[in-house]
């Protein structure tokens, strides 16, 4: 039985704008809640988010039950966990701070089976989640799972073409916070700076020139729409903590304002 999860990688390659529900809280339920919304995928963040191994295992399964593919952002340099997350059924890995062609090659080695890489075989959970035998999974895994390298420093921008040229790197993910800190040499974090926008345009142009896709962390839905217009393939609308805050603030504001008779946003 084929799984809808298998279509996700080619959806990213198609260049259509997609939106990923970014889960920072170590909660499989949060992953499931966002998976049941109109997001195209779910991303679990182990770098700055609160996830641990168990919440990643559970979050991938809960999102899959809601029909959505999961991407896992690993911690800096934690490539062995990239292999594990793929074995747990993740359909993509985002690796932070890929600053050189050496970083990119190492990342690809852990996420792709031969001949592209050296991923060790043992998709005990991933194959069943995809409705396949291990042998069947081996045949599709290099294409159906994506290795996404984070571009978030001046060094990475300088090495961008070499990173994109690595077989096994499917696409790139721009981290605007670290990128701005790097571009301003630590003086400030400014995701909306014109210098960051210029870099965003450069990254998507170079990715397309290499036949690869560009994705990015966005801090709002409006920003995600702007990135889509630039040709980006996957955007966040910030994260679950932020969305919880925004929803809570909006409803509390109505309540505190005594908004009697106003249409509320909730259907229960």
Tell me the window of 33-41, 72-80, 99-107, 174-182 that interacts with Mg ion (CB under 5 A): 174-182
Q: Is 155 in the site for ligand 3PY (CB under 6 A)?
A: no
Q: Is 217 in the site for ligand 3PY (CB under 6 A)?
A: yes
Selected catalytic residue, list 48, 51, 210, 227: 48
C-beta closer to ligand 3PY: residue 123 or 171: 171
* Interface of this chain with ligand 3PY, residues 87 to 106, rule: CB under 6 A: 96
CB of 58 or CB of 178, closer to Mg ion:
178
Taking the C-alpha atoms of 71, 21, 41 and 190 in order, what is their torsion angle to the nearest 10 degrees? -70
Task: State the Cα–Cα distance between residues 250 and 59, nearest whole angstrom.
Answer: 27
What are the tokens at 35?
Answer: 């998976």
Binds Mg ion (CB under 5 A): choice among 49, 171, 175, 176: 175
Residue identified by tokens 């998709």 is 123
Give the distance, in angstroms, between the CA of residue 162 and the centroid of all CA atoms in the same chain. Answer: 21
- Window 33-52: residues binding ligand 3PY (CB under 6 A): none
Which CB atom, from 75 or from 100, has the smaller least distance to ligand 3PY?
75
Q: Which of residues 138-157 bind Mg ion (CB under 5 A)?
A: 152
Interface with ligand 3PY in residues 103-122 (CB under 6 A): none
Contact, 69 vs 5, CB < 8 A? yes
CB of 124 to ligand 3PY, least distance (A): 30
DSSP 6: G
Residue of 149, 168, 175, 223 that binds ligand 3PY (CB under 6 A): 175
- CA 44 to chain CA centroid, Å, is 8
177 touches ligand 3PY (CB under 6 A): yes
Per the DSSP assignment, residues forming a β-bridge with 92 are 71, 146
Residue with tokens 């217009």: 229
Using CB under 6 A as the binding rule, whether residue 178 contacts ligand 3PY is answered as yes
> Which of 230, 103, 90, 240 is CA-nearest to residue 160?
103
CB of 181: closest distance to Mg ion in angstroms? 9
Query: Is 202 among the residues known to form the active site?
Result: no
Q: Which residues are catalytic, by number?
A: 48
């Amino acid at each position: 039985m084929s799984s809808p999860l298998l279509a996700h990688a080619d959806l990213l390659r198609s260049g259509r704008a997609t939106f990923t529900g970014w889960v920072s809280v170590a909660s499989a339920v949060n992953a499931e809640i966002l998976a049941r919304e109109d997001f195209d995928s779910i991303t679990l963040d182990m770098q700055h988010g609160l996830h641990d191994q168990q919440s990643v295992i559970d979050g991938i399964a809960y999102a899959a039950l809601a029909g959505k593919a999961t991407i896992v952002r690993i911690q800096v340099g934690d490539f062995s966990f990239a292999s594990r997350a793929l074995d747990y059924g993740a359909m993509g890995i985002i690796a932070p701070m890929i600053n050189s062609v050496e970083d990119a090659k190492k990342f690809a080695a852990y996420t792709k089976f031969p001949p592209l890489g050296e991923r060790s075989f043992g998709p005990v959970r991933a194959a069943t989640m995809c409705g396949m035998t291990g042998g069947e999974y081996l045949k599709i895994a290099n294409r159906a799972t994506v290795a996404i390298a984070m571009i978030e420093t001046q060094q990475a921008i300088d090495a961008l073409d070499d990173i994109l040229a690595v077989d096994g790197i499917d696409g790139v993910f721009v981290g605007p916070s670290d990128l701005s800190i790097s571009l301003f040499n630590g003086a400030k974090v400014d995701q909306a700076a014109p210098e960051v926008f210029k870099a965003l345009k450069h990254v998507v142009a170079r990715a397309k020139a290499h036949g690869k896709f560009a994705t990015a962390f966005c801090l709002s839905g409006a920003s995600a729409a702007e990135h889509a217009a630039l040709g980006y393939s996957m955007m966040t609308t910030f994260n679950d903590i932020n969305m919880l805050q925004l929803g809570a603030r909006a409803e509390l504001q109505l309540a505190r304002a005594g908004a009697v008779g106003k249409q509320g946003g909730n259907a229960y």
